[in-house]
Amino acid sequence: MKEFQMNQTMTELPKQYFASLVAKVGALIKEGADIINLGQGNPDQPTPEHIVASLKEAADLPQYHKYPPFRGYPFLKEAIADFYKREYNVELDPDKEVCILFGGKGGLVEVSQCLLNPGDVALVPDPGYPDYWSGVALARGRMEMMPLKKENEFLPNYNAIQEEALKQAKLMFLNYPNNPTGATASKEFYDETVTFAKQHDFCVVHDFAYGGIGFDGQKPVSFLQSEGAKDIGIEIYTLSKTYNMAGWRVAFAVGNASVIEMLNLYQDHMYVSLFGAIQQAAATALLSPQTCVDELAQKYEGRRNVLIEGLQSIGWNVTAPSGSFFAWLPCPEGMSSEEFADILLYEAHIAVAPGRGFGESGEGYVRVGLLEEEDRLKEAVERIKKLELFK
């Protein structure tokens, strides 16, 4: 049988760094090991009942058994606009400033196809979500990495970006609350970002995947709350984390009308929008009382406190995240992130994600998900204590 060859673009896609971690964990589980898996980013709670009920009801409606409108039902776009007005006091035109997406990941990859020509530069956070890299590679663009350092509160230092890269930049990715660091950003930072983007004429794409998860009484700030943000950028919001709807694959992009039109046009050639019943359930999620969101954030905050306080009690100098459901923890001195992750996995049966997998600046850290119940997190602390790595 003839074996066909991939095109050059496909061969240049970034390698899936975490595939080996999944394989290692799977092999140990197959051997009967009790693995506390803190290496994933998959919400562990079910979708709230009222959202599931909305889907069940909608699935019986014959109008949703046909192809939906190419760009989605108006009622969902109106619900998104109402959600942004209620939560962030941001006005959106449902027709021109909202694009329904097949999950946030899809939109983050698609936007590079819409904005980058071969050789154009995308400014990318390091460490950051690896699918930013995938989108840039598919567009045959180039990446200029923006290191996120602890001394700068894991925010990019715009003054450190090379002038030549800024001249060629067409796109910048940001993500707060941040994966993997758990850092958050202020409105003042976004104000600075808007000014910087206007000065250098590029589009900002803010990945607001963890917009519903803030701690210590602080609600995460939307990029679009800064004056002029819609002039130079968009925000991508997914229902995966806020409402535990990861498997439903529903998200949206909002903001700059020209970029929203590009995304809609791109998707016109790829899809015929989402199943209508999912769109109805998504509208239910956005328009209903947000008690479930508040309760979820409180659950993650409780887990964060148990984990961080426990680790500090055994001598590990760690800092609590201010948002997202991740903690970003420094490795023991002289140990790489992959070496440390392997020790935790093979000697304590705890899976964590090596920081190097999120970019060069992620070296020296591991990412830990707050996606196990508190008793399992306490057990993880006890297992790590027995390793006597922190004294």
The whole-number pLDDT of residue 190 equals 98
Instruction: Read off the pLDDT of residues 52-99 as tens digits, 9 standing for 90 and up.
Output: 999 999 999 999 999 999 999 999 999 999 999 999 999 999 999 999
| Tokens, residue 205 | 């794409």
**Residue ranges per structural domain of the chain:** 8-46+291-387, 49-287
| Tokens, residue 104 | 């946030």
The whole-number pLDDT of residue 338 equals 94
Instruction: Read off the pLDDT of residues 178-194 as tens digits, 9 standing for 90 and up.
Output: 999 999 999 999 999 99
Q: How confident is the model at residue 235 (pLDDT cuts 50, 70, 90)?
A: very high
Using a 10 angstrom Cβ sphere, with 0-12 exposed, 13-18 middle and 19 or more buried, the burial of residue 50 is: middle
Q: Give the residue-averaged pLDDT of 154-176.
A: 96
Instruction: Read off the pLDDT of residues 98-142 as tens digits, 9 standing for 90 and up.
Output: 999 999 999 999 999 999 999 999 999 999 999 999 999 999 999
Beta-bridge mates of residue 354: 366
In angstroms, rounded to a whole number, what is the distance separating the alpha carbons of residues 265 and 267? 5
The whole-number pLDDT of residue 12 equals 87
In angstroms, rounded to a whole number, what is the distance separating the alpha carbons of residues 209 and 218? 16
Instruction: Read off the pLDDT of residues 13-50 as tens digits, 9 standing for 90 and up.
Output: 888 777 778 888 889 999 999 999 999 889 999 999 99
Helix (H) / strand (E) element for 131: namely: helix 131-138
- C-alpha dist (Å) from residue 290 to 87, 179, 295: 10, 23, 9
The whole-number pLDDT of residue 18 equals 79
The whole-number pLDDT of residue 14 equals 87
Residue with tokens 């991508």: 236
Number of C-beta neighbours around residue 102 at 10 A: 16
Given a cut of 80, whether residue 391 has pLDDT beyond it is: no
Instruction: Read off the pLDDT of residues 324-358 as tens digits, 9 standing for 90 and up.
Output: 999 999 999 999 999 999 999 999 999 999 999 99
Edge-to-edge order in the sheet of strand 326-330:
326-330, 365-369, 353-354
Given a cut of 90, whether residue 227 has pLDDT beyond it is: yes
Q: What are phi and psi of 205, to 5 degrees?
A: -115, 110
Q: What are phi and psi of 147, to 5 degrees?
A: -60, 135
Q: What are phi and psi of 128, to 5 degrees?
A: -165, 175
CATH 3.40.50.720 fits domain 8-46+291-387: no
Q: Per the omega criterion (within 30 degrees of 0), is the bond before 14 cis?
A: no
- C-alpha dist (Å) from residue 33 to 91, 240, 345, 349, 374: 52, 29, 10, 7, 20
Amino acid at 126: D
Instruction: Read off the pLDDT of residues 291-309 as tens digits, 9 standing for 90 and up.
Output: 999 999 999 999 999 999 9
Q: How far apart are the first and last CA of the chain?
A: 60
Q: Give the residue-averaged pLDDT of 204-221.
A: 97
Residue by residue, DSSP assigns 168-197 as HEEEEEE-SS-TTT-----HHHHHHHHHHH
- Length of the chain equals 391
Number of C-beta neighbours around residue 249 at 10 A: 18
Task: Select the CATH number that applies to the domain covering 49-287 from these four: 3.40.640.10, 3.40.50.980, 1.25.10.10, 3.90.700.10.
Answer: 3.40.640.10
In angstroms, rounded to a whole number, what is the distance separating the alpha carbons of residues 4 and 238? 36
The whole-number pLDDT of residue 19 equals 79
Amino acid at 361: S
